[in-house]
A and B are shown apart, each in its own frame.
Chain A
C-alpha cells in the first residue's frame, strides 16, 4: 500500500477521527472528576518519554524503561505526574481559551477532522473516472517513445562497407547486447529506452529523429544519417504520440479524480459549517 493510497483510505480517516476523540476523552478519564488522583501507567510513561525526546519509537523507549534504575523511574513518574497535574490545572483555569497558540491548534484539528470526515465516504465511480480522464486528457497524453539500439559508423565509412555491416547484422540477427562490436564508439549512448523525440533530436539531429519514428520495429535497418555519421538501427518498439491509454493508467486517473473530489468535498464541508452561522460585521468593515 503506498503512502498516497493510505492517506486517502477512508478507514484511516475514520480511525484518525476516532483516535482524536478517544484521546480527548481519555485525557479526562484518569480518575474521579475531582481530578485529585493521577494514575500513571507504563503507557503514560512511554508517551511522556517519547514526547519529551520528540522521538517516536516505542520499542526503543520500552527497552530503555525496562532497564531504568528504580530511582530514575521514580523521577520519571514524578515528572509525568507533574505534567498531568499542570495540564489539569490549566484546564481548570481555562487557559486554552485565552492562548492563541492553543486556539490555533484546536482550529487546525477541527479543520482536519471536518475535512477528513467529509472526504471519508467519498469514492469515485468508473464513469466518473472516465469523465475525469476525458476532461483532463492532456495531462495524461504521452510523448512518442522509441526504444532502439544502433551501430555507429563514422562519416567517412564507404557506402559499400555500411551495406556490408547491415547485411551481417541482418543475417546473423544480432541481438542488441551484442551489437557494439560491429561499429565504432558513439559519443552518446548505444541503447535508448523509451526515448522521446526531444532526446533523440538532441543526440542525432531532427532528420534522424523523424526517420527513426517512422521505422517498423523488429529488424536491423538503415543506414540513417545523423550529424555524427551513419547509424544502423534496430528499433525494438516505436510508440507514436498518443492520447494516454486509459486502461493502462486508470489507477492513476482514479487517484487524481478521487483527490479532486475529496478536496472539493472538504471545501464544501467548510462552506456548510459556515452556513450554520450568521456572520455579522461591525463598524462597516464588511462593505
Chain B
C-alpha cells in the first residue's frame, strides 16, 4: 500500500489502516484540491546551465526519535521545518533562530519505535513494570539516569522489541504526522521538504552502526518506514525500496557515520560475510548514490593515519574502531575501485553530502549560534561538563562534537523534483556547516580561461561534466583530464584559504591518493618541501574572534592531471578550505568563562567537499 498526497490515491485506505491495522487496496476518495507540487509561477528565467545552489540538511531527528525523546528533546517535525525556514523555535527551554535559513530539509527520525518513547514519556503509553521506576527515569536531568532510560529506549536500534514501545499502529500514526508535516511546509520555489526516515541497525557485538537515511522524492510514500526490527540486513531495506520503486515510490538511501561502522561501511563482503557479489554491488550503487561525509559525530573523510601526506586530514575526528579502510570515505572510494576490478561494478560510486544528525530538531550549524544537538546529553546550561568532562559516548569531552554539516546541491529550482534529481546525478557537495559554494567541472582538453566571463558556468556545462559526473570517454590524443573549480566564501563565515583536488587512483593492483593545491589566496609561496605557505591564523581564542584580513572571498583554479594513466580507474574531488575560525566550543568557553580542555582545538578550518568525478577506462 502506498500513501499518497495526490488526488485519489489510496488516501482513505491509509487512514483506515491507521485505526484498524487492516489493509485495503481499492483507491477511494477524491478531492478537488490539488497538491502544490509544481513550482509557483515566477519571473525567474534561469540562464542555460545556470543551476542555483541550495543548502540543506538531510539528517535531523526530533522527539519522534527514540533517543531524542529519551534525551528530553521536545521538538516535532513541524518545529524542525519552521526552524530551518528561519523562524524562532524553542528547544530545551530557550528560543533559537538560524542567522541564515536553509533551503531544504529532510527530517529523518529513527524508524525504530517511531514516536513511542515520546508517547511513553508523555504518559500516553504505559510501559510494563513498576510505574514509580518509570517516573524516576522519565524525570531525569541528564547524566546516569538518562543513560538508564536510553538503555531501554535504544533497544530498537539493536533490532530488539520492547513491550509498549514496539507498537506499529502508533508508529504508523507518527509516520502519517511526519508526512503531513513535510507536506505542510513544502513550498515550491521557496523551501523544500523531503519525507524521510532513518533505518538504524546497530550491532550489540561490536556497537557497529550501519545506518541509512531513506529520502523519498514524493509525492507517494510507503505505508510504513522500514526499521531494524523488520530486518538488521540492509539488503532487506533495499528490497523494501526496490518494491516501492517498482510502484512509483522513488527513494534513495544515504549511509552515514562510516567512522562508527567498525569497518562495515565499505566492506569487501555482504552482510552474510560472503564475498561481495556483482548483484550486491549493483544494488548498492543503484540504491545508495550518496554518502554522508560529515556530521555532529565526526567527519568520515579520512584520518592522519590513513592519509599521512594530507596536512588537513586531522579534522573533527572522533574515535573509530576496526578496519579503518572500511571506516572512512576516502579509502572506501579506493576500495570501490578495487572491487570494480574484480566484479566489473563499483559498489561505492557515490557523491557526498553533509548533514547534522542532531537530535534536537533544530538544524543549527553556525559555530557562533550552536545550542548543542543531543538534547539533555549536551545541554549547554552545563557548560563546564561539556567543556571538561570525558563523555562515555565519544571518549572525550562533548566539546569535541561538531557543529556540522550541510549539503549543497546545484539544481534548477528549489523544488523536490529538481533537488532530488540533483541527488540522483550526485551534483552535490558537503560542507562542515558554512554555506561555502563550490563548482567543479571536469573534461578533456584545455580548461584555462574557461572560468572567465559572466557566462562561464554555462560554457563549462557544455565543455565537461559537473561534480558527481563520470568523465566522457577520452579521445586518443587527449592528455590527462582537466578541471575547473570555483569557490566562494560564506558571506557570514571565514575567507577561503585554498582549493585542492584530491586524486585517488589504482595502479598495479594498489590504491593511491595525492592532493594538489590548485588555487589559494594571494601572496603565498610554496615552501622548500613543496607545500604551500600556511594562510595564517587570526583567531583570538580568549575572545572567540577572527578577522577576514587573510584568505580570499573567491578562489578559482584550473588544473590538469599531470600523471594520468588512461588504463586505470581514477577519482577526483575538490576540497575547499576556509581560514581558521573559532569552533562552537570556543564561543561557549568564552561565554561561560570555562577554559577549553587540552585536546579540544580552539579553532577549525571549515571546509567543503565536492562529489567526486569518476573516470573509468
Contact = CB atoms under 8 A, between A and B. Distances in A.
Range of interface residues on chain B? 35 or more
Contact of A185 (B17, B45, B48, B454): B454
25 contacts: A1-B30, A1-B33, A3-B3, A3-B176, A4-B183, A6-B15, A6-B31, A9-B31, A50-B23, A51-B21, A57-B23, A58-B24, A101-B126, A103-B126, A147-B42, A177-B47, A183-B454, A185-B452, A187-B437, A187-B486, A187-B488, A188-B437, A193-B42, A194-B189, A228-B553
Interface in A1-17: 1-7, 9, 11-12, 15-16
A31 interface: no
B180 A4 contact: yes
B600 to A, nearest CB: 30
Contact of B224 (A4, A5, A54, A193): A54
A177 to B, nearest CB: 4
Residues of A contacting B: mostly: helix
B1 interface: yes
Interface string A132-166: 00000000000000010101100000000000000
Contacts of B46: 177, 191
A191 to B, nearest CB: 6
Nearest to B8: A1
A176 B456 CA distance: 15
B492 A202 contact: yes
Given A4-B184, A147-B43, A191-B52, A185 B556 contact: yes
Interface string B118-132: 000000111010000
Interface in A154-213: 175-191, 193-194, 198, 202-203
A188 B47 contact: no
A237 interface: yes
Contacts of B47: 149, 176-180, 190-191
Nearest to B18: A16
Interface stretch (A90-98, A104-112, A273-281): A104-112
B44 A7 contact: no
A56 B20 contact: no
Interface string A61-85: 0000000000000000000000000
Interface string B193-227: 00000000000000000000000000000011000
B473 interface: no
Interface in B130-172: 163-164, 168, 170
Contacts of A11: 29
B604 to A, nearest CB: 22
B29 to A, nearest CB: 7
A236 B23 contact: no
A151 B454 contact: yes
A55 interface: yes
Interface in B19-47: 19-25, 29-31, 33-36, 42-47
B97 to A, nearest CB: 12
B5 A2 contact: yes
Nearest to B129: A100
Contacts of A60: 243
Interface string B537-572: 000000000000000011010000000000000000
Given A147-B43, A189-B52, A57 B1 contact: yes
B8 A177 contact: no
A236 B492 CA distance: 27
B126 A100 contact: yes
A203 B170 CA distance: 47
A236 B47 CA distance: 14
A203 B491 contact: yes
A57 B556 CA distance: 53
Given A7-B180, A180-B458, A191-B46, 16 more contacts: A6-B12, A46-B23, A50-B23, A55-B224, A56-B23, A59-B25, A109-B19, A178-B47, A184-B452, A187-B486, A188-B488, A190-B454, A191-B50, A193-B413, A194-B189, A198-B100
B126 A104 contact: yes
Nearest to A255: B184
Contacts of A15: 12, 15-16
Given A56-B1, A100-B128, A177-B46, A1 B453 contact: no
Given A1-B5, A190-B50, A198-B100, A184 B454 contact: yes
A109 B20 CA distance: 10
Contacts of B492: 202
Contacts of A100: 126, 128
Nearest to B37: A2
